[in-house]
Structure 1
Amino acid sequence: MTAGRAIRQRLDPPPVTAGARRDVMAGGILVATVVLLLPTVSRAIGFITADDGITSRDNILATALCLNVALLLFGWRRYRDLSREVGVRTAAEERAQTLASRDPLTGFLNRRALIELAGGELAQAEKRGKILALVTIDLDHFKNVNDVHGHLVGDQLLAAVADAITQALPPTAITARLGGDEFACAFAFDPANPHVVDGVAERLVTRLSQPFELDGVRAHVSASIGIARSDDDAAAIDGLMRRTNIAMNAAKKMGRNRFCWFDASMERELQARNTIEAGLRAGIPRDEIVPYYEQQIDLTTGTLHGFEVLARWN
């Protein structure tokens, strides 16, 4: 699993690591030790080599030397304690950052992190004359696995699916779990070679339709995949994600276990259907829908068999 490069990350200053903090503290302690000990030790050596006998001044000097050694030991112990504390805090911060951007089950990015990183990838792709492909993957009949085998096996299946997705993608691809049994990935490709994206989608469909062996349980799913490309008048990642969802739903309508590229006609059809549905919801309470009944009669016997209903929207 490899995450793409984000523009924001390049502009940020390099993080201060725990090792750098420890080096600063160790350097401070070393400098303080040299400043404290060097004058005292040099004088002590001078008095010892003079061999003039022990005087009260020698006692003061010896006491000062002992105090300096004690300060050194105290400083080293404090450095060790601070190093341990810095390590604990750094680990906690790193874990918090990971939980804020990663799915704990699969290790993939979450939706928010995907939008952020894919936005950076989109900008980089445009600079390099590349196109960003966004792929949405929805597992077919995943609920059946949870219902039959339990949620523990379902979680194991999601982790195995994440591994399979990673293996099918280019090394530079961004991978994310959007929630539930829905995944997404993004990667740049050369506009002269769109078949590269088809190859990735075909590998995903083929691999995810094969059975997964999970602790003695054989689980079967398939995948409905929607694909959108950044040069199709999609201004931002949000627009690309909406289009991949439309294409993914089209793949489900076609029979599942397949991939489908987004087409503008899909969006027009969806908008027209939503307009009609919204109008009906508002028109029915206002009695705008008027039914007309036409008799269905057997011409040989003249028997009435039923009615054909026509609804007109006034």
Structure 2
Amino acid sequence: MLGILISAVMLLVWNGSHFFQQISFATDRIDGGIQIASTALTLNVALILFGWRRYVDVQHESQMRAESEDRAALIATTDAMTGLLNRKGFADRATVLAGAACGDGERMVMISVQMHRFKGINDRHGYDVGDELLRRLAAAILAVVDREVAVARLSGDEFALAMVRSPGDRPAIEIIGEALIRAITKPYQVEDKHIQVGVFVGIAMAEAGPVVVAELLRRADIALDHAKSSRSARPVWFDGGMERALLAHSEIEQGIRFALEHEQFEPHFEPQIDLETGELVGFETLARWNHTLSGIIMPDMFIPVAEEIGVIGRLSEQVMRAAFVHAATWDASINLSVNVSPAMLGDPWLAQKIVRLLRETSFPANRLVVEITESSLFTDIDQARTIVTSLKNQGIRLALDDFGTGFSSLSHLRTLPFDVIKIDRSFIATIQRDRQSAAIVRAVTTLATALDVPVTVEGIEDASTHAAVLAMGCAVGQGWYFGKPMSAERAGEMVRARKNHGVPVSSAGPIKAAG
């Protein structure tokens, strides 16, 4: 373009000069013609100079536009805080790597990384410290891998890495994962604070053939979730079983929500027996899922999921309401025990909700025993004390469940007004063959007697265990020796049989028939 402009200028200058000579030879007296020719030449030169200036301006504008587009693209694909790729940039870069992997016969590898306890750092030290720590962690991750690896901060404290490796490089990939764990979990000094976080790592390798980046990242995230749930200190590889478990978990979650809407959760009742007289004194309420297709589903299948998705309180209220309705019609001497999970104990309105259920179902508060596991008290002892006091003020009795499995049992007995101590079934199951278990049960019973608190034991499965706990001074027992958990109808039949016949309920009595 520049050469064309120079040639045009030279041509115009030569033409103008030639024209001037011709005019000059024709007549020296035509001054007007000469002036016209000179003006024409000046205008042509000015036009060329203007064109050159415009060309330079256009080039500058084009360069600025290109730089602006590059900056916009960088902003759109880069995490502003750490300088790593963001989710969009990672997807774009990983797609390029996936294409290269298919062409070279190698495999795409995705590593998902998430910090543990990072939120607490923001809460304790502020977001400025948390942001600076994220920048340090990003630099540490980059130092572990080579430049060909795509590294991104996806959101919050979640990072991801994408790379191309040979199918036989699994040991080397695990080494990278372990190096990431070491780099992230080492202590960092931010300002004047020494900070250390945990981390979980999940890894997924694509199968042969075309790769869907989003799907591979999802599998790495599934492996990461498995690492979190198992508290693994090492990288966890994805396998098909994890995905099947996730699908089953999802189905259970959906089923729980459906069951809550259609009131499929119902109480079953496990008999509690006076160990000395054989009399039926109460029942422990246990949740069961009466599934339309699968029948009765045991609580270990749905309680953990209900706690995880935050509906355990609603589920427990549904079961308690049904239990109170049934038990309200039974003999007034029969007590009813209900369990409170750790998640429920975190609800400051728990006591008010239980009292409301009692009022709506007309079940007497003095017949209710609320069982609280010892381990659940550690979350918030002050709130637990408030709830316990509120329940006691309403005439409800309290049982310390699974006694002996926690870390500060004696202090709980001293500071919280429990009416019953329940010894964990793990001690009862081994009481006859394990001297330590027998010693613990004997010591707890002696302590409870000194405190004037009765002891209930669970897990009595045979006559010899029954005799052993009775000899140690335990007051009340439950277990399959006395009867398995049963429906409300069977429990009602048992209570009516006791009332009508006046026969003590023992292992040889109506409980066995009803169970």
TM-score range for the pair, normalised by the shorter chain length: 0.7 to 0.9
Cα gap change, 1:54 to 1:76, in 2 (>3 Å): farther
CA–CA separation in structure 2 for the residues paired with 1:39 and 1:255: 84
* Unaligned stretches of 5+ residues in structure 1: 1-26
Checking the alignment, whether the CA contact within 8 Å between 1:44 and 1:61 is kept in structure 2 is no
1:285 corresponding residue in structure 2: 261
1:313 corresponding residue in structure 2: 290
Q: Counterpart of 1:69 in structure 2: which amino acid?
A: V
Checking the alignment, whether the CA contact within 8 Å between 1:139 and 1:222 is kept in structure 2 is yes
Give yes or no for the alignment of 1:118 onto 2:130. no
CA–CA separation in structure 2 for the residues paired with 1:69 and 1:312: 95
The match for 1:295 among 254, 259, 271 is 271
Checking the alignment, whether the CA contact within 8 Å between 1:118 and 1:174 is kept in structure 2 is yes
Larger Rg: 1 or 2?
Answer: 2
1:201 corresponding residue in structure 2: 177
Secondary structure of 1:170's aligned partner: coil
1:260 corresponding residue in structure 2: 236
Checking the alignment, whether the CA contact within 8 Å between 2:113 and 2:202 is kept in structure 1 is yes
Q: Counterpart of 1:309 in structure 2: which amino acid?
A: L
The match for 2:133 among 137, 143, 157 is 157
The match for 1:73 among 49, 62, 87 is 49
Deviation at 1:145, TM superposition (A): 1.9
2:4 corresponding residue in structure 1: 31
CA–CA separation in structure 1 for the residues paired with 2:211 and 2:267: 44
Deviation at 1:232, TM superposition (A): 8.2
CA–CA separation in structure 1 for the residues paired with 2:89 and 2:47: 48
Checking the alignment, whether the CA contact within 8 Å between 1:295 and 1:308 is kept in structure 2 is no
Aligned-residue CA RMSD (Å) = 3.0
Per-residue CA shift, 1:142-184, capped at 9, x if unaligned? 1122122222222222222222111111331112221111111
Checking the alignment, whether the CA contact within 8 Å between 1:40 and 1:61 is kept in structure 2 is no
Deviation at 1:42, TM superposition (A): 5.3
Cα gap change, 1:288 to 1:232, in 2 (>3 Å): farther
Deviation at 1:282, TM superposition (A): 0.7
Q: Which has the higher contact order (CA 8 A, sep 6+)?
A: 1
Normalising by structure 1, we get a TM-score of 0.79
Deviation at 1:195, TM superposition (A): 0.9
Give yes or no for the alignment of 1:127 onto 2:103. yes
Checking the alignment, whether the CA contact within 8 Å between 2:108 and 2:211 is kept in structure 1 is no
Per-residue CA shift, 1:71-111, capped at 9, x if unaligned? 23323332343333323322221222222222222232222
The match for 1:185 among 130, 149, 161 is 161
Checking the alignment, whether the CA contact within 8 Å between 2:102 and 2:209 is kept in structure 1 is no
CA–CA separation in structure 1 for the residues paired with 2:98 and 2:56: 46
Checking the alignment, whether the CA contact within 8 Å between 2:107 and 2:208 is kept in structure 1 is no
Bigger shift: residues 50-59 or 178-187: 50-59
Cα gap change, 1:83 to 1:215, in 2 (>3 Å): farther
CA–CA separation in structure 1 for the residues paired with 2:8 and 2:146: 57
CA–CA separation in structure 2 for the residues paired with 1:61 and 1:33: 21
Bigger shift: residues 205-214 or 94-103: 94-103
Checking the alignment, whether the CA contact within 8 Å between 2:113 and 2:199 is kept in structure 1 is yes
2:218 corresponding residue in structure 1: 242
Using the aligned pairs only, state the percent identity.
Answer: 33
